[in-house]
Amino acid sequence: MSEENAPQKERYLREVEQKLLRKELDARLLEDGLIHVRWNEKPLCSVDRDGIVRFRPADITGPEVDKRLRTVIQAAGQVKEYMRIFERAPALKAAGLEDSYKVLADFSDAVLAGQLGKKGARFVTWEWDFDRQGVHAGHYHMENYDAAKLDFAARAGLINEQRLFSDEQLAVIKNACEFALEDDATLSYAEEKQLQSVQEQIELLLPQQEQEQEQHSEMEQTM
């Protein structure tokens, strides 16, 4: 690694570390230059400065552990994506905007902006004023990059907003799939596999906190 790239690599690792901590994984950047990740007090994997995730197959002992590993892989890839964009993004110049943001994407009347701070990356979408000298109607997504991208795509007219589901709606769909898999004896094998695939895809999309709230609610209902 060149001296020129060292600060960017360090910042990348710190950003991944913070994102994993928010997902309630025990992630620590150590002196060897790797993020060591543990879950349930057991080793899970490591992440290097290039975003490569390494793990021992023997440590992936079940579906829950595998789910956490996929969370790490997804986070490492996501941070790599937006940190690269930050490196070459121009500053957002808008009248009355005090904080420093960079333009991550700009299309039609919408702009996706980001800010790197001590607590990590933060994302927001705005609409341009008529003369494109200022912005208004900010949607602040904090550290949720995926939500910011979807919001930008919808505001820019790149996708149909009706195709988007909120986290709450996704949780309802996931629960409906689970109910059908447990209680509908008429499902064919192909239908079961399709519903399981939908569940797995939603689990990757839903924030970990949302999933844990669902599980807690289900436990209360069965008591």
Question: How many whole angstroms separate alpha carbon 33 and alpha carbon 8?
Answer: 13
d(CA 195, CA 120): 36
Compute the average pLDDT of residues 78-107: 94
Whether residue 217 is predicted with pLDDT greater than 50 in this model: the reply is no
Taking residues 25-40, report their average pLDDT. 96
Q: What is the reported pLDDT for 42?
A: 96
For residue 44, give both structure tokens. 């899970």
**Cα–Cα dist 80/195, whole Å:** 31
- The reported pLDDT for the residue numbered 208 is 55
Is pLDDT at 197 greater than 90 in this prediction? yes
Kindly indicate the confidence band of residue 190, based on its pLDDT and cuts at 50, 70 and 90.
very high
Tokens found for residue 204: 């990757």
pTM across the whole model:
0.79
Total Cβ atoms within 10 A of residue 84? 12
- Residue 12 binned pLDDT confidence (cut-offs 50, 70, 90): very high
Largest CA distance in the chain: 62
Helix, strand, coil percentages, rounded to 5, for the chain: 50, 20, 30
Domain boundaries, the chain: 6-86, 101-160, 167-216
Residue 97: predicted pLDDT: 87
**Measured on CA atoms in the order 108, 110, 112, 113, is the torsion positive or negative?**
positive
- pLDDT range class, residue 162, cuts 50, 70, 90: confident
At CB < 8 A and 24+ separation, what contacts does 38-46 make?
Answer: 39/65, 39/68, 44/68, 44/69, 44/72, 45/69, 45/72
**What is the rounded CA–CA span in Å between residue 52 and residue 54?**
6
How far apart are the C-alpha atoms of 204 and 189, rounded to whole Å? 23
What residue has token string 């079961």?
192
Residue matched to tokens 């009706």 = 162
For residue 207, the model assigns a pLDDT of: 66
